[in-house]
Each structure stands twice: as structure tokens, then as C-alpha cells.
């Protein structure tokens, strides 16, 4: 947890001027690009971050490209205020992100576009797929998955995750939630929402609660944080029946992607984390806990049991149909060929 909070207020002296100073870069040599990440708001926040990591990899090869800070739009089903969207910097600390990504990638703050009169090329969502999903997910993550090997040094996605810190306002919200949870809380992501894929059975809330009670993780003395998009009151009642003090993060005042980021961080900092592999949200938490925080107390569930997750978050989607991939050890290597 200390790692998460350290250097949260870091500033970057003169970094903006460095990137816009015509004496350093000629305007004609730099391309400023804005990409629609959202596909009409249907992608979850952490799929969008996979897009971002692919674009970081792209920009590391083409150093004359700068990506403008994303604005994440909210899908119809996720309305809480309006559909105007939320900036990356309204969720995360953009100074911290740029400092951590220094010499690899620079995200142009959206306010600087008008301040420095930058000419920005607007690209549709398909480019997020081409440079984001296809590069980072299909070409890199899938390759690592098939080899059962993962590199920390060459993993752009890990570098992006490590550079994400909630901004200072959201850190205050996080600290309030952590005070409610106390020390050594467990966390579970209950992937039981109505958007579950229709071609195979999903696990019910009641079954997950029963599996938790029967597991070695169960401890009625520990607070349990649960993250899910629906049925919060029903789930709290279920945990109360097994004498578990549960808590979730809900707020009608915050936009969906911001609530997701806060719930993500609460799961990230938990003592033990339980999740379903059919979720980029859960898999990225597991990956970050394993590879950055060195916390291997990560578990997954199916319709039969809660089991140790040893794939370091690399295998996800439908692998749970057989359990074998989520129970397959993934080796960490110093370097994985690109």
C-alpha cells in the first residue's frame, strides 16, 4: 500500500515547455493525435487502458507522435450525469503518469492543446483497435499467453498500470474508503452483471457467497470489499447472512469510469483478491498485484470452487470453462521477444 501512495504529489518541472518548445522540436516534426477510445462508450475503463498501452508501444517506435489526453465517454447504460465524458486527468494524476513514462511516452494534457495552439489530428475509434488492441492485446499479450511467459521489462501494459495513480481529489475519496475497510480486508470482484455473455453459464451471487463461506479465505473478522455493477443491496444481505461485514463503493455523484478506477484500486490494495477470469478488470488487478506489488494471494472462482490463480492475470476470458489455464503457472522472464 505504501508503494501506491508514494510520490503521489510529484510534479514535472518545465516538462510541458520541453515538449512544445520550438527550439527543441520543430512543429512540422511532431504529430499530435486525438483518438476516440470509446466506440460509443461501450468499452470498460480497463479495456481502454489496454488501448492506451498499445498506443504507448506505438509512440515508443514513432517518437514524433504525441497522443492527446483521452476523454472517456459514458455509454447509455452507464449514465450518472451526462454523456459528455470524463478526462483521463479527472481520474488519474497525469503529472505522475508522464513522470513515470518519461523517455517512453508523453500524454498531452487536453488544456495544452488550446494553450499552445497545437494542430491535432482527429482519428476514429478504429485506430484505437489498430494501434491499441491489435498491437498490445493480439500481438503481445496473446503471444505471452501462448508461451506461458511474461516479461516485466518489456511489458508496456505493466508500465502503464504502474504509472496510474488517482488524482489528488480522488485520493481523498480512496482514503475515506480505506478507513471504512480497515487493515487486512479481502476483496472480491463479482462478475455477475446482466451483460454476461449468453453462450455459457454465469455464476450467481448466492453461489459465490456460499463458495466464499466454504473457502479457506473466509474469516468473519475481516471486512470484505466487493466490486460489481449491480444488485449491491442484495449482495450485502447475502454476506450478512454468513456473518461477513461487507462494503462496496457506490456514488451517484461520480461518473462510471471514475467509480471503476476507485473500485479497482480498493481491490488492488486488498490483502486477498478473488475474481472471475472473464474480466479485463480482474485480470489487470491480478497482474499488477503479482508483478508490481508481489502479492500472490489471488484467487478465482467458477461454479464449483474458489481456486488459486497462478496465471498472473495473463489468461482470461473463457479459459475458466476448463480451469486449466487459470491454474497454469506463468513464468516471469527478464525479456520476452517482441
pLDDT at 245 over 60: yes
Do 274 and 187 belong together in one domain?
yes
For 243, counting Cβ atoms within 10 Å of its Cβ (0-12 exposed, 13-18 middle, 19+ buried), the class is exposed
- Does residue 290 lie within any of the structural domains? yes
- Does residue 172 lie within any of the structural domains? yes
- Does residue 76 lie within any of the structural domains? yes
Q: What is the mean pLDDT of residues 80-101?
A: 85
* CB 53 within 8 Å of CB 155: no
As a whole number of angstroms, the distance between CA 186 and CA 321 comes to 25
Tally of CB atoms within 10 A around 103: 7
- Does residue 157 lie within any of the structural domains? no
Taking only the tens place, the pLDDT of each residue in 159-170 is 999 999 999 999
pLDDT at 53 over 60: yes
Of residues 30 and 233, which shows the higher confidence score? 233
- Does residue 104 lie within any of the structural domains? yes
Reading the block at residue 87, the C-alpha cell is 478526462
Reading the block at residue 256, the C-alpha cell is 462510471
Do 142 and 274 belong together in one domain?
no
pLDDT at 229 over 50: yes
pLDDT at 334 over 70: no
Taking only the tens place, the pLDDT of each residue in 261-318 is 999 999 999 999 999 887 888 989 999 999 899 999 999 888 888 888 888 888 765 4
Of residues 81 and 53, which shows the higher confidence score? 53
- Does residue 272 lie within any of the structural domains? yes
Please tell me the predicted confidence (pLDDT) of residue 319. 42
Do 91 and 173 belong together in one domain?
no
DSSP state of 229: S
Please tell me the predicted confidence (pLDDT) of residue 40. 59
Strands (DSSP E) along 158-223, which ranges?
Answer: 186-189
Show the domain range for 225.
Answer: 168-333
Pairing of strands 186-189, 224-227: parallel
Do 257 and 187 belong together in one domain?
yes
- Does residue 305 lie within any of the structural domains? yes
Do 134 and 178 belong together in one domain?
no
What does the mean pLDDT of the chain come to? 82
* CB 30 within 8 Å of CB 63: no
Percent of the chain with pLDDT over 90: 37
* CB 237 within 8 Å of CB 209: no
Do 172 and 71 belong together in one domain?
no
Do 201 and 269 belong together in one domain?
yes
Do 176 and 317 belong together in one domain?
yes
Do 231 and 96 belong together in one domain?
no
Q: What is the mean pLDDT of residues 9-33?
A: 60
Last residue of a domain, one of 150, 180, 207: 150
Candidates 173, 150, 157; CA nearest to 54 is: 157
pLDDT at 180 over 70: yes
pTM tops 0.85? yes
Tally of CB atoms within 10 A around 23: 5
Do 229 and 275 belong together in one domain?
yes
Do 11 and 123 belong together in one domain?
yes
Do 142 and 176 belong together in one domain?
no
Candidates 182, 155, 177, 183; CA nearest to 284 is: 155
* CB 285 within 8 Å of CB 189: yes
Percent of the chain with pLDDT over 70: 81
The number of distinct structural domains making up the chain is 2
pLDDT at 69 over 60: yes
> What's the Cα-to-Cα distance from 139 to each of 136, 145, 153, 319, 333, rounded to whole Å?
6, 10, 17, 19, 18
Backbone angles phi, psi at 177, to 5 degrees: -65, -40
* CB 266 within 8 Å of CB 289: no
Please tell me the predicted confidence (pLDDT) of residue 208. 93
Q: What is the mean pLDDT of residues 15-42?
A: 66
Please tell me the predicted confidence (pLDDT) of residue 212. 93
Taking only the tens place, the pLDDT of each residue in 134-162 is 777 777 777 777 777 888 887 889 999 99
- Does residue 155 lie within any of the structural domains? no
Taking only the tens place, the pLDDT of each residue in 181-220 is 988 899 999 987 777 766 556 788 999 999 999 998 987 7
Neighbouring-strand partners of residue 67: 33, 107
Please tell me the predicted confidence (pLDDT) of residue 199. 54
Amino acid at each position: 500500500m505504501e508503494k501506491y501512495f508514494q510520490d503521489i504529489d510529484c510534479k514535472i518541472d518545465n516538462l510541458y515547455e520541453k515538449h512544445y518548445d520550438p527550439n527543441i522540436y520543430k512543429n512540422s516534426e511532431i504529430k499530435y493525435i486525438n483518438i476516440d477510445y470509446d466506440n460509443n462508450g461501450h468499452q470498460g475503463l480497463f479495456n481502454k487502458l489496454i488501448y492506451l498501452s498499445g498506443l504507448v508501444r506505438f509512440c515508443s517506435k514513432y517518437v514524433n507522435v504525441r497522443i492527446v489526453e483521452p476523454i472517456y465517454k459514458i455509454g447509455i447504460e452507464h449514465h450518472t450525469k451526462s454523456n459528455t465524458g470524463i478526462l483521463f486527468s479527472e481520474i488519474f494524476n497525469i503529472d505522475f503518469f508522464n513522470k513515470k513514462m518519461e523517455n517512453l511516452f508523453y500524454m498531452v494534457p487536453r488544456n495544452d492543446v488550446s494553450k499552445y495552439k497545437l494542430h491535432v489530428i482527429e482519428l476514429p475509434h478504429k485506430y484505437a483497435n489498430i494501434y491499441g488492441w491489435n498491437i498490445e492485446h493480439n500481438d503481445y499479450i496473446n503471444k505471452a499467453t501462448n508461451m506461458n511467459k511474461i516479461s516485466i521489462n518489456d511489458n508496456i501494459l505493466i508500465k502503464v498500470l504502474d504509472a496510474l495513480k488517482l488524482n489528488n481529489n480522488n485520493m481523498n475519496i480512496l482514503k475515506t474508503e480505506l478507513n471504512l475497510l480497515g487493515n487486512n480486508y479481502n476483496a472480491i470482484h463479482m462478475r455477475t452483471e446482466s451483460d454476461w455473455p449468453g453462450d455459457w453459464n454465469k455464476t450467481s451471487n448466492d453461489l459465490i457467497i456460499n463458495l466464499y463461506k466454504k473457502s479457506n479465505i473466509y474469516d468473519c473478522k475481516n471486512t470484505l470489499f466487493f466490486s460489481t455493477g449491480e444488485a449491491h443491496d442484495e449482495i450485502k444481505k447475502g454476506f450478512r447472512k454468513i456473518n461477513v461485514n461487507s462494503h462496496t463503493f457506490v456514488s451517484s455523484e461520480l461518473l462510471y469510469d471514475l467509480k471503476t478506477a476507485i473500485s479497482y484500486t480498493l481491490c488492488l490494495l486488498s490483502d486477498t483478491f478473488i475474481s472471475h477470469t472473464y474480466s479485463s478488470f480482474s485480470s489487470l488487478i491480478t497482474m499488477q498485484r503479482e508483478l508490481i506489488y508481489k502479492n500472490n494471494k489471488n484467487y478465482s472462482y467458477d461454479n464449483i470452487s474458489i481456486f488459486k490463480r497462478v496465471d498472473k492475470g495473463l489468461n482470461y476470458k473463457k479459459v475458466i470453462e476448463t480451469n486449466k489455464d487459470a491454474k497454469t503457472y506463468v513464468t516471469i522472464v527478464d525479456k520476452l521477444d517482441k
